[in-house]
Amino acid sequence: MCDWKKSGWKRIDPRIRDKLDELQANGIRTLGSCCGHGKYPRTIGVKHDRQNIDLQSGTLIPRIRRFYRKDPEGMYYIPEVMR
């Protein structure tokens, strides 16, 4: 499991914090992110050309919100990235 650090109202996994800070410094706003918890691929959702994509895989995410789904064990993932 990941160790969470609270950043304002968000909980951000330290394993991807540097990448998120780098994106923000370059003016890229993230929509959501997850390290994958050793079970799923790492994901970073961003808006690009009016579409939502996973920056890590380049996969289009057709939803405008609620990108992540929860599995039976309570882990979050983006289904489109699993294909």
The alpha carbon of residue 34 and the mean position of all alpha carbons in its chain are separated, in whole angstroms, by 4
pLDDT bin (cut points 50, 70, 90) of residue 44 is very high
pLDDT bin (cut points 50, 70, 90) of residue 3 is low
Number of domains in the chain: 1
Give the number of C-alpha atoms closer than 13 A to the C-alpha of residue 8, restricted to the C-beta side. 1
pLDDT bin (cut points 50, 70, 90) of residue 72 is very high
* Mean pLDDT confidence for 34-62: 90
34 and 43 Cβ atoms separated by less than 8 Å:
yes
pLDDT score at 82: 85
Residue 57 lies in domain? 5-82
pLDDT bin (cut points 50, 70, 90) of residue 1 is very low
61 beta partners:
52
Structure tokens at 41: 């691929």
pLDDT bin (cut points 50, 70, 90) of residue 59 is very high
- Per-residue burial over 33-61, b = 16 or more CB atoms within 10 Å of its CB, e = otherwise: bbbbbeebebbbbbeeeeebbbbbbebeb
Helices (H), ranges, the chain: 14-25
- Does the pLDDT at position 2 exceed 70? no
